[in-house]
Amino acid sequence: MEDRTLFINKDKLLAKIKDDHRIADIDLEIVRPGDDVRIMPVKDVIEPRFKNSGGDMFPGFTGDDDMVGSGITKVLAGTAVVTTGEVVGFQEGIIDMSGPGAEYTPFSKTINIVINCEVSQGIKQHIHEEVLRLIGLTAANYIGEAAKDAKAHETRIYEHKPLLEACSLNGGLPIVGYIYMLQSQGLLHDTYVYGVDAKEILPTLISPTEVMDGAIVSGNCVSACDKNTTYFHQNNPIIEELYEKHGKEINFVGTIITNENVTLADKERSSSFTARLAEKIGLEAAIISEEGFGNPDADLIMNCKKLENRGIKTVLITDEFAGRDGASQSLADSTPEADAVVSTGNANETIILPPLEKVIGNDEHADNIAGGFAGSLKEDGSIEVEIQAIIGATNELGFNKLTARGY
């Protein structure tokens, strides 16, 4: 780091991440906002960070399996590591650095360090995903070390008091928590908590500052529009907003992470644990966010209904799959208790992405990725897709700027 400029030795970085017999070819490019570049299919996006104290980034992967969420964390704000290459699962997406598609993804506004990786032939999908996940996290960790001795241009302080102390500081403000649903349906729909697949956990309390330090890592290939990349977890806007209002309008006492299971019995168990935890810590209100759509809608509604039945007011954040005309049922499940819902947009809306000068990755899968259809990729290189094919277009943490209103 020199002042606000980051310098990367490409050969050293590639040497750091390519020492894996499963990798057939790997390269690195840097793209900037406004470049005539399309990146697809995108696997994950990670923000480079470094911890001067209080553990290591991405515990369970590139760091020791120690607790994070305290100490000093340096952030290389405005940069992102993006992994791409041959498609892993069909639910991967697009980042356009310019043109109309750039308006739908927050990563058109970051300087992206793009790692284009191809794996050996015959590698199974879940191994392919693992290779790209480890490459991205290792690269972000390595690049983040550049901030180790750098002087911060901005400092933010986040305080998370012990639970009993936090709850006793009510001062008449409503006690509010965050129910953080993590994608865990398996079959390339995985999220990791301290290196553990979230489908293996029971709902539990986590410090919001742990999330900032990479305790939650994406390993999933859900539709690009509402996939929570690792970057979104690191910069969760719900957590940021709750911190902003803490001590002024609300008493933000904690975050409960829960999973999104496949079977009805697992859904019932996790939602019951979540509601009981919320009740035990004295929540009066909670924000609930989901990841994905369809099957996870059932988990969202169960969490809502069970919290409301315990007298805990809820606000749900979700996107919609209401058809290209917006006339279809938006969610796969519903309940009368879900009377406060924030929409992050209709993922079925279509868009034409004009041809760009350069494609990093491979655009041949445009017809097959979620949001694409037969004929999506045109002869001139333009792509007609639903916006669900764009990374972050309808992000259910509210990271982007779309919404919808009912009449």
Q: Is the pLDDT of residue 167 over 70?
A: yes
396 within some domain: no
Q: What is the band of 6 on the pLDDT scale with cuts at 50, 70, 90?
A: very high
Domain encompassing residue 99: 10-389
Q: Residue 91 has what pLDDT?
A: 84
Q: What is the band of 158 on the pLDDT scale with cuts at 50, 70, 90?
A: very high
Q: Is the pLDDT of residue 407 over 70?
A: no
Average pLDDT over residues 120-138: 93
Q: Is the pLDDT of residue 221 over 90?
A: no
Number of domains in the chain: 1
Average pLDDT over residues 272-291: 96
404 within some domain: no
146/50 Cα distance (integer angstroms): 8
406 within some domain: no
Q: Is the pLDDT of residue 168 over 80?
A: no
117 within some domain: yes
382 within some domain: yes
186 within some domain: yes
For the stretch 33-81, pLDDT in tens is: 999 999 999 999 999 999 998 888 999 998 776 899 999 999 999 999 9
Average pLDDT over residues 158-174: 83
Which CB contacts under 8 angstroms, 24+ apart, belong to 238-243? 238/178, 238/180, 238/287, 238/289, 238/317, 238/397, 238/398, 239/178, 239/208, 239/211, 239/212, 242/176, 242/178, 242/208, 242/287, 243/158, 243/208
Indicate the average pLDDT of the chain. Answer: 93
Burial of 405 (0-12, 13-18, 19+ CB in 10 A): exposed
pTM of the predicted protein model: 0.95
Q: Residue 406 has what pLDDT?
A: 67
Average pLDDT over residues 149-168: 87
For the stretch 308-367, pLDDT in tens is: 999 999 999 999 998 888 888 888 889 999 999 999 999 999 999 999 999 999 999 999
367 within some domain: yes
The residues assigned a catalytic role are: 221
Q: Residue 366 has what pLDDT?
A: 93
225/371 Cα distance (integer angstroms): 9
Helix 264-280 crosses helix 295-308 at what angle (to 10 degrees)?
A: 30
271/291 Cα distance (integer angstroms): 15
Q: Residue 326 has what pLDDT?
A: 84
107/114 Cα distance (integer angstroms): 11
